[in-house]
């Protein structure tokens, strides 16, 4: 069964996996690469949702008026992140 946890950040996860792949950080035999990228993207999407849920659980009372991150995302139309922001100049990324 697919849940919001599996899909809400799927675009972000795909972007991150593509970036990891472009940096050769997914060392997999070419025949297994697509399946591995799909599995890694699914895990990243779930963990991004878990992170959002964690932040929700540790925010001010004003935010906790909602029953979960999923409700906040729906009520406030929080979109998936489908374009990565540029890395900050002081960042080790990018």
Sorted by where each begins, the domain ranges of the chain are 4-75
- Can you give the pTM of this predicted structure? 0.65
pLDDT in tens, 9-46: 899 999 999 988 888 887 778 888 888 889 999 999 99
**Residue 10 C-beta-side C-alpha neighbours within 13 Å:** 10
Q: What is the pLDDT of residue 92?
A: 57
pLDDT for residue 6 is more than 70: yes
Site of tokens 């399946």 = 35
* CA nearest neighbour of 4 among 71, 87, 76: 71
């Amino acid at each position: 069964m697919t849940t919001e946890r599996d899909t809400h950040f799927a675009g972000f996860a795909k972007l991150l996996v593509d970036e990891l792949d472009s940096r050769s950080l997914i060392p997999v035999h070419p025949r297994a690469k697509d399946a591995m990228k799909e599995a890694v993207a699914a895990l990243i999407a779930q963990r991004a949702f878990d992170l959002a849920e964690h932040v929700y659980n540790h925010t001010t009372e004003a935010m906790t008026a909602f029953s979960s991150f999923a409700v906040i995302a729906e009520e406030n139309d929080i979109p998936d992140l489908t374009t990565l922001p540029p890395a900050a100049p002081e960042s080790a990324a990018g």
